[in-house]
Amino acid sequence: SDPLEVIARAKALSVELSTQITPGFEALVFKASRGIEDIYELTYIRKDGSEFPAVVSVTALRDAQDAIIGYLLIGTDNTARKQAEAALVKAGALQSAIFNSANFSSIATDAKGVIQIFNVGAERMLGYTAAEVVDKITPADISDFREVIARATALSLELGTSITPGFEALVFKASRGIEDIYELTYIRKDRSRFPAVVSVTALRDAQNAIIGYLLIGTDNTARKKAEEALLQAGALQSAIFNSANFSSIATDAKGVIQIFNVGAERMMGYRAAEVVNKITPAELHDPQEVIARATALSLEYGTPITPGFEALVFRASRGIEDIYELTKVRKDGSRFAAVDSVTALRDAQNAIIGYLLIGTDNTVRREAAVALEQIRQDEIRFKDEFLSHVSHELRSPLTAIKQFTSILIGGLAGELNPEQHDYQQIVLKNIHQLQSMIDDLLEVTGLQAGKLTVHPESVSVEDAVADTFNTLQETARAKGVALFSEVAKDLPSVYADQTRLRQILIILFDNAIKFTPAGGSVKLRAGLLPQSPRLLLIEVTDTGCGIEADLAEKVFDRLYQVSERSKASRKGLG
């Protein structure tokens, strides 16, 4: 701050409050230290030596016992208002400038406080027209009257004289030649409210007699919101740090514990006195996991990292947000999973002066994860047992069907025409297909484990497509759906599991027939990709209802099928 202004403020306060006030910091916070609301203006000096006028609000910070532990000074740059005032004085056009400034509410009164001038800024801020207030009310009538009463009471105590609640309370200091800037709530015509910072000046004639007052106000809403955000952030920080649900551990730059909160004491079983200035947080962790973390980070960043405290804070020391899970060891030797968030603490020059580790006990989540995994394993085991049972039960009737079909076909040997002979072969192939599917069901345990036995061999694509076509031709004919196939000439064989390739083609072809209405068509096409002749493309297309865009991704979900309601709603899509 400007030292000359600080000296002048100390003198003025000494006279005003009848007590000796030392020029310096005491002069800036004296009123706040006495519990008196204090907003004043003085000149701040930047690092580069330049100066600017600031309006400063001072608040005393107190502990739970109401003892002062510090002060909060919130300042706003007042350059714009100062420049406006200087320009007004220099131009000698006070009245014109007041009327033309929309950024400040400029209200001039007569000596009794009745409004005489109400500028465009006042109209904009308060919602009244000048005609509605001039010669009719005082500025006290547009202020929160409870605040006006409180101000009158405070000034009466401060200055040792009785001050009437009302306009007198707003201008009393200015009437005594004391610079006065204060904050109070203005009330608009629509009854909405906003905080305003008001500067009051007494207007005097040539004989120095007061002829009125000028109140210049600015909307202080933005600064108030900023203050509330700061308070909320501070409350959140305080709540976390003092919470018994979080272990908050602060260290110095070397990692030695300096703060060990009640949450840390509860979680770890140590008292703060047992760890502060004695150990690092690394000594509260499973040493093997700390070594493993150091090794992993060394590989990740290509630099050797010492197993110990460095491994816990390495990322934070590089300005990287870091949240990790490690096992912590309590004083009694018991262990628990913890999630820690690490932040580097820095000074004004951005040098690291310590670290803050905020941790939570992750045991409950871990136990829940284990329980869920057990449930999943039980479900898999149940499915395995069920499918195994069903598969064996299916095998017996299918074997009987195969045997009696063979007997029937054998008895009709020589009596079948070519078309009937083809049907006979389709029946036998489908019996083999069902047998293969039952074998797959018996392998479901391997499928659940991510493994599935396959038997790759050289497979003719033409034969696989033809078998699919012949198997489903009767199904399509019964539904009134035309089938077409198009297979490129001289397709090479593919190396695949023949049974599973046929399963895939039948499922695709059968689904296409199922969702294509009578009179429609389904086409199966096979050929090499032109841009990659080593890859085979098999396509199944149909004239059915299709899949809506919002469901397209669902076709990749395991065992997903569109609900009957969705099918019904899409019947008309064609």
Q: In the prediction, which pLDDT does 84 show?
A: 53
Distance of CA 339 to the CA centre of its chain: 19
Torsion sign, CA atoms 523, 524, 528, 534: positive
Q: In the prediction, which pLDDT does 509 show?
A: 84
Q: In the prediction, which pLDDT does 21 show?
A: 93
CB 170 within 8 A of CB 151: yes
Asked if the model's pLDDT at residue 568 lies above 50, the reply is: no
Best CA proximity match to 261, nearest among 238, 280, 284, 279: 238
Asked if the model's pLDDT at residue 274 lies above 50, the reply is: yes
| CA atoms of 217 and 81, how far apart (whole Å) | 10
Q: In the prediction, which pLDDT does 432 show?
A: 73
* Predicted confidence (pLDDT) per residue in 411-429, tens digit: 666 677 777 777 777 777 7
Q: How confident is the model at residue 98 (pLDDT cuts 50, 70, 90)?
A: very low
CB 96 within 8 A of CB 88: no
Best CA proximity match to 461, nearest among 526, 522, 532, 534: 526
* Percent with pLDDT over 70 in the chain: 79
More confident residue, 304 or 504: 304
Kindly give the interhelix angle for 461-479 and 418-442, rounded to the nearest 10 degrees. 110
Asked if the model's pLDDT at residue 328 lies above 90, the reply is: yes
Q: How confident is the model at residue 572 (pLDDT cuts 50, 70, 90)?
A: very low
Q: How far is CA 4 from CA 27, 52, 109, 567, in A?
A: 12, 14, 33, 84
Q: In the prediction, which pLDDT does 15 show?
A: 92
Q: In the prediction, which pLDDT does 311 show?
A: 94
CB 535 within 8 A of CB 498: no
> Which range scores top for mean pLDDT: 78-82, 95-99, 235-239, 410-414?
78-82
Query: Please, where are the H alpha helices in 160-261?
Result: 167-175, 221-242
Tokens representing residue 404 in the block: 């009696």
Q: How far apart are the first and last CA of the chain?
A: 79
Average pLDDT over residues 551-567: 63
Question: Average pLDDT, whole number, for the chain?
Answer: 82
Q: In the prediction, which pLDDT does 571 show?
A: 44
| CA atoms of 257 and 523, how far apart (whole Å) | 73
Torsion angle (degrees, nearest 10) of CA 274, 275, 279, 284: 100
Q: How confident is the model at residue 242 (pLDDT cuts 50, 70, 90)?
A: low
Query: Please, where are the H alpha helices in 412-480?
Result: 418-442, 444-448, 461-479
DSSP class of residue 519? T
CB 317 within 8 A of CB 255: no
More confident residue, 87 or 168: 168
SS3 assignment, position 497: strand
More confident residue, 567 or 351: 351
Q: In the prediction, which pLDDT does 515 show?
A: 86
| CA atoms of 520 and 480, how far apart (whole Å) | 8
Query: Beta 247-252 vs 210-219: how paired, if at all?
Result: unpaired
Asked if the model's pLDDT at residue 209 lies above 70, the reply is: yes
Average pLDDT over residues 385-412: 66
Lowest mean pLDDT among 49-63, 327-341, 400-414: 400-414
Lowest mean pLDDT among 216-225, 299-308, 529-538, 557-566: 557-566
Distance of CA 253 to the CA centre of its chain: 30
Asked if the model's pLDDT at residue 522 lies above 60, the reply is: yes
Best CA proximity match to 196, nearest among 294, 383, 55: 55
| CA atoms of 115 and 493, how far apart (whole Å) | 100
Q: How confident is the model at residue 43 (pLDDT cuts 50, 70, 90)?
A: very high
Give residues with Cβ within 8 angstroms of 130, minimum separation 6: 117, 118, 119, 122, 123
Q: In the prediction, which pLDDT does 184 show?
A: 92
Lowest mean pLDDT among 14-18, 26-30, 547-551: 547-551
Q: In the prediction, which pLDDT does 298 show?
A: 94
Distance of CA 545 to the CA centre of its chain: 41
| CA atoms of 334 and 343, how far apart (whole Å) | 27
CB 426 within 8 A of CB 405: no
Q: What are phi and psi of 111, to 5 degrees?
A: -65, -25
Global pTM value? 0.34
Average pLDDT over residues 304-333: 92
Strands of 330-449, DSSP E:
335-346, 352-361
Give residues with Cβ within 8 angstroms of 29, minimum separation 6: 38, 58, 60, 71, 73
| CA atoms of 462 and 496, how far apart (whole Å) | 14
Asked if the model's pLDDT at residue 40 lies above 50, the reply is: yes
CB 295 within 8 A of CB 321: no
More confident residue, 326 or 377: 326
Rg (CA), the chain: 43
* Predicted confidence (pLDDT) per residue in 154-183, tens digit: 999 988 999 999 999 999 999 998 878 888
Average pLDDT over residues 249-271: 90
Query: Beta 482-487 vs 456-459: how paired, if at all?
Result: unpaired
Cα three-residue angle 78-82-87, rounded to 5 degrees: 150
Q: In the prediction, which pLDDT does 449 show?
A: 47
Q: In the prediction, which pLDDT does 20 show?
A: 93
**Residues forming beta bridges with residue 508, ordered by sequence position:** none
| CA atoms of 278 and 301, how far apart (whole Å) | 30
Asked if the model's pLDDT at residue 229 lies above 60, the reply is: no
Q: In the prediction, which pLDDT does 63 show?
A: 79
